[in-house]
Amino acid sequence: MDSPTLHRHPSLYFPDGDIVLCAAAKSGIYQAFRVDRVYLIRSSPVLRDMLSGSSPGAVTSSDVFDGVQMLRLNDDASELANLLELLYNTVTVSLQRLDPSNPLRAMGILRLATKYAMDPLRKIILHCIEADWPRTLGEWDQLQATVAHARELNGGAGGPFIDDCFPEPAAAIRFASEFGCPSILPAAFYQLAITDPAADWDEFRRGNDDDDAAAWEHRCALATGGRTARWELLDRANLMRFLRGRTALDAWLPDVEDCLTSYLGTAECVDHFHCERVRAECRRVFLLEGPGRARPFDPLHALRFLLDLVPQHQLCGACLRHIRGELLRVRQEIWDELPTMFGIPTPPS
């Protein structure tokens, strides 16, 4: 192999390192990383074999740079840099909690960590991605409350967009499909299902021209807390899951309405005529002014809305308890049904 010009990496070139790794960057230059053999050997059985000369691509005595042995790798230099940064902890972790780009950043590192069999590192990365997505209805509610709070604080005050601070579903779905962490899929698909398909991550961030009406509208949507998704990352199978799940979520609307109208025997209700009128009024507010008419329909939000709305109306105690119980039951049922609605493969137990 010819000797291309090597550029020493600005932070991952330790003068006392005893091995140089070399990889090509997209720009065409070759990047050199001077690191410690012992770190590589301990963290990767694959690199251990390469360095000991017992596998193809092993180090040869003729490969020397700056006086130490050099191992040429056919990996992307920036992905290798991310992996080594994680290994050396020179950045705390390049994955900040809830950052919408975490799955995209993690993909490159994880591909290399898998290739070099760095299992502990793999687990850390998977854990970071999993921790960004709620796994229970309680955790989902907590995340929604955090988003709502951030939205309230921001209120068009020029802070970062809400969309830049919370997980983006399509990248997460792509990540989960490639690296097998199905536990994040129910929440990610649900988030995708309540995102307007016209709201595209890249499209909404394109252009700053004030004369461009579409660009201006997109910026306004982001500034007022709008959410987007990287729709083009969905493959055919995941797009079908989204479509089927979306249809299934719409079909819950009558069940949500039934919570308000379901019959409670006169023996329990103290004023049947009065309570029926109040139930009808709640239903009217829900369907005409509330989330009953909002699209895409978000049944978990709709039920949360009703849980807050119903106690504000003067129902008898028995009706209030009954309706509240129904709303909570249906809400939990929807959450539990998400894997079925979206056709998500069940994780091995």
Q: Work out how close the CB of 274 gets to Zn ion at its nearest, in angstroms, rounded to a whole number.
A: 7
Site string for Zn ion, 109-128 (x = CB under 5 A): --------------------
Whole-number minimum distance, CB 221 to Zn ion, in Å? Answer: 42
Number of Cβ within a 10 Å radius of residue 236: 7
Closest distance of CB 95 from Zn ion, Å? 51
Of 19 and 319, CB closest to Zn ion: 319
User: How far, in Å, are 108, 195, 218 from residue 201 at the CA level?
Assistant: 20, 11, 10
**Counting beta carbons within 10 angstroms of the beta carbon of residue 220, is it exposed (0 to 12), middle (13 to 18) or buried (19 or more)?**
exposed
Nearer to Zn ion, 27 or 262 (CB): 262
Q: N- to C-terminal Cα distance for the chain?
A: 49
Q: Which two tokens stand for residue 345?
A: 């493969």
Size of the site for Zn ion (CB under 5 A): 4
Q: Which of 37, 316, 332, 339 binds Zn ion (CB under 5 A)?
A: 316
Q: Which of residues 273-312 bind Zn ion (CB under 5 A)?
A: 275
C-beta of 223 vs 307, nearer to Zn ion: 307
Q: Which stretch binds Zn ion (CB under 5 A): 103-111, 244-252, 293-301, 313-321?
A: 313-321
C-alpha dihedral, 208 to 214 to 220 to 223, nearest 10°: -60
For tokens 């074999």, the residue is 49
**CB-nearer residue toward Zn ion: 309 or 316:** 316
Q: How many CA atoms lie within 13 A of 266 on its CB side?
A: 3
- Write down the residue that tokens 């992905």 correspond to: 79
Judged by beta carbon, residue 165 or residue 320, the one nearer Zn ion is 320
Q: Which of the ranges 68-76, 118-126, 288-296, 317-325 carries the binding residues for Zn ion, by CB under 5 A? A: 317-325
φ, ψ of residue 23 to 5 degrees: the values are -145, 155
Nearer Cβ to Zn ion, position 264 or 344?
Answer: 264
Q: Contact letters (x/-) for Zn ion, 240-279, by CB under 5 A?
A: -----------------------------x-----x----
Give, as ranges, the residues between 78 and 107 that touch Zn ion (CB under 5 A): none
Our finding on whether 319 is near Zn ion (CB under 5 A) is: yes
Structure-token pair, residue 185:
């899929």
CA–CA distance, 23 with 29 (Å, rounded to integer): 9
DSSP annotation of 271 reads -
For the record, the structure tokens of 248 come out as 């299934």
Cβ neighbour number for residue 149 with a 10 Å cutoff: 10
Say which residues have a Cβ less than 8 Å from residue 323's Cβ, sequence separation at least 6: 259, 260, 262, 279, 306, 310, 315
Q: How far is the CB of 288 from Zn ion (least distance, A)?
A: 23
CB of 322 to Zn ion, least distance (A): 8
CB of 262 to Zn ion, least distance (A): 12
**Which positions lie near Zn ion, rule CB under 5 A?**
269, 275, 316, 319
